[in-house]
Amino acid sequence: MRKPAARPAKKLKAKARTKAVTKPAEPAMDVAVGRRIRDLRRVRQFSLETVAARTELSIGFLSQIERGLSSPSLRVLATLADVFGVGIAALFGASPSADGGSDQVVTRGPERPELKLWRTGVSKQLLSPASADNKLNLFLVHLEPGGSTGDELYTHDGEEAGLVLEGEMMLTVDSETWSLKSGDSFRFASRRPHRFSNPAQDAKAVVLWVNCVTGA
């Protein structure tokens, strides 16, 4: 007697292949950043509609950021920080308190909060104690090969300065662009349109970066 063809096995294999091809989970960093943005918005009692109107970002996009479904660029984060009246450092570490205060003086190396903008190849380690109320913040910025803040120039409150520790960085402020190498430094008002990038395709750039919030 002839045995029936083993069709169910093929179906099982097909199901296995289908199950394997699933969308990966959103990076934990996007979820954490979204939660901090949502907490800052709620502490200030802003609605999504209010933030959308002040940033010219859509309500849908802001909602996706808060839920960790979208990875915001540094330009978007700087714009949101301006609306909340804080520096980007407020997006690091623990959720902000209502008064934003902190008595911390020292940050140990292994305890540095980090913000990874994984889609753009930019990551920032916060070297100064995290607090939504801080006006002066120190960062260690890592630019992966080809990493960039994007083609579009952006602005935000404050002043910034830095020192290139490793590699090369292209810095554009207004209509002028400079190539900065290890040992070169810079300073400019953050309200001047700017962007930066790592032009190298095989080497990381590391920059010691200072941001000072000057607004109220």
For 80, the token pair is 């949101």
Residue 99 is predicted with a pLDDT of 44
Average pLDDT over all residues of the chain: 84
Q: How many helices (H) and strands (E) does the chain have?
A: 5, 9
Residue 4 is predicted with a pLDDT of 52
pTM of the predicted model as reported, rounded to 2 decimal places = 0.77
- Strands of the 176-181 sheet, one edge to the other: 176-181, 168-173, 194-197
